[in-house]
């Protein structure tokens, strides 16, 4: 049993950033907005988090800065797609290109600088339980936050009035507007939440996963998070399964590289991307599941008539 601990820890740390980013995007898409800028928001979150933690020496301030950074550029996206009804696909791409460039520009001064680590929080008593203790109760604060957020988002979407409004706006914006709900306001909040989560996910990368800054360190994780939302059929519970699957694939790639099988490292690095394609194909064949759960107004702009 002892041998399982290492792999499980790696899987959980590798899946946490995907889970965080995908969770935010899930809420955004539930409101009917498709934000393809997750990769860019993560990159900005990562550099803001690293810069703030490094300049102040306080990792917690880094976490806040990461969230804030993600939200600021998500705000730009909201302004464009909701305020000026621009094409959401194109605006999301613009956000990714801009975010990757901006993060590299800001981070230029921080390349090669060692970052402050994030302390692990040991939950007294529980963290001493063999096997489960180290895995579930001796993580850093952001991992706990991610998993708590899954439950919170699930509860919000399916058990609260606010969640019902969110889904109504995403499924039929004309009716939601006619009922008096502020479609644009709901969507803006959902976009900002998505930005906060993506920023946090980026912060996780630069503060916990590999405590340093390198340009393009997000390495497509924002895009994988987008695929995860489709895989999860917009259901938070399924998101956990998907994120853990990707965590396991990342672990497998590292493991195979470590024991030195005769496969070039580039092919092992391809694994997460190839898995994403396979996962998308498999889920897309299940058309009923997708038809029931896809927000009906996903990607459509709305101009309220007054």
Partner 1 sequence: MRIELIRRPEHSRTMVVLSPIIAIALTVIAGFFVFLAIGVDPLQALYIYFIEPLTAGWSIEALFVKAVPIILVAVGLSLCYLANNWNIGAEGQFAAGAIAGSVFPILVPGWNGPEVMVAMLVMGVLGGMLYAAIPALLKIRFGANEILTSLMLVYVAQLFLDWLARGPWRNPEGHNFPDSRPFDGGQVLPVLVGSDVRISLVFAVVAVIVAWFVLRRTLTGFQISVLGQAPRAGAFAGFSQNRMILLTFLVSGGLAGLAGICEVAGPIGMLRTTVSPGYGFTGIIVAFLGRLNPIGIFFAGLLLALSYLGGEGMQIALGISDQITRVFQGMLLFFVLACDTLIYYRIRFVRTGQHPAGEAKHGRA
Positions in the binding site for partner 1 (CB under 8 A):
36, 40, 76, 80, 83-87, 89-91, 93-95, 97-102, 104-105, 108, 174, 215, 219-220, 223-224, 226-227, 230, 264, 266-267, 269-270, 273-274, 276-277, 280-281, 284-285, 287, 300-306
Q: What is the DSSP string of 153-170?
A: HHHHHHHSHHHHHHHHHH
What is the C-alpha separation between 192 and 212, in angstroms, rounded? 26
Q: Which is nearer to partner 1, 148 or 270 (CB)?
A: 270
Instruction: Name the minimum Å distance from CB 36 to partner 1.
Output: 7
Closest CA to 250 of 227, 226, 221, 213: 221
Q: Which is nearer to partner 1, 27 or 100 (CB)?
A: 100
Q: Which is nearer to partner 1, 28 or 276 (CB)?
A: 276
Q: Which is nearer to partner 1, 161 or 285 (CB)?
A: 285
Instruction: Name the minimum Å distance from CB 93 to partner 1.
Output: 6
What is the C-alpha separation between 242 and 227, in angstroms, rounded? 9
Helix axes 183-204, 161-171, angle to 10 degrees: 100
Instruction: Name the minimum Å distance from CB 160 to partner 1.
Output: 28
**Rg of the chain in Å (alpha carbons):** 19
Instruction: Name the minimum Å distance from CB 178 to partner 1.
Output: 11
Instruction: Name the minimum Å distance from CB 216 to partner 1.
Output: 10
Q: Which is nearer to partner 1, 12 or 19 (CB)?
A: 19
The answer to whether 205 and 225 are in contact (CB under 8 A) is: no
Torsion angle, alpha carbons of 85, 291, 42, 49, to 10: 100
Within a 10 A sphere around the Cβ of 190, how many other Cβ atoms? 27
């Amino acid at each position: 049993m002892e041998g399982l601990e290492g792999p499980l820890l790696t899987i959980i740390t590798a899946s946490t950033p995907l889970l965080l980013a995908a969770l935010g995007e899930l809420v955004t898409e539930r409101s009917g907005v498709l934000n393809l800028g997750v990769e860019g928001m993560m990159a900005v979150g990562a550099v803001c988090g690293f810069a703030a933690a490094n300049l102040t020496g306080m990792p917690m301030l880094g976490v806040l800065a990461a969230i804030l950074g993600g939200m600021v550029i998500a705000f730009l996206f909201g302004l464009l797609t909701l305020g000026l009804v621009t094409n959401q696909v194109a605006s999301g791409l613009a956000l990714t290109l801009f975010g990757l460039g901006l993060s590299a520009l800001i981070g230029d001064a921080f390349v090669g600088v060692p970052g402050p680590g994030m302390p692990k929080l040991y939950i007294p008593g529980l963290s001493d339980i063999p096997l489960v203790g180290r895995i579930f109760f001796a993580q850093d604060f952001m991992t706990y936050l991610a998993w708590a957020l899954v439950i919170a988002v699930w509860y919000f979407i399916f058990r609260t009035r606010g969640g019902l409004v969110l889904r109504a706006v995403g499924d039929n914006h004309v009716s939601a507007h006619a009922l008096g709900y502020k479609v644009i306001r709901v969507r803006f909040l959902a976009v900002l939440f998505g930005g906060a989560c993506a920023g946090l996910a980026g912060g996780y990368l630069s503060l916990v996963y590999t405590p340093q800054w390198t340009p393009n360190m997000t390495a497509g994780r924002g895009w994988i998070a987008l695929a995860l939302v489709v895989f999860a059929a917009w259901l938070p519970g399924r998101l956990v399964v998907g994120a853990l699957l990707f965590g396991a694939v990342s672990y497998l790639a590292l493991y195979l590289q470590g024991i030195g099988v005769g496969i070039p490292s580039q092919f092992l690095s391809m694994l997460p991307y190839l898995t994403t394609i396979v996962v998308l194909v498999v889920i897309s064949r299940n058309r009923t599941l997708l038809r029931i759960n896809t927000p009906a107004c996903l990607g459509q702009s709305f101009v309220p008539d007054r």
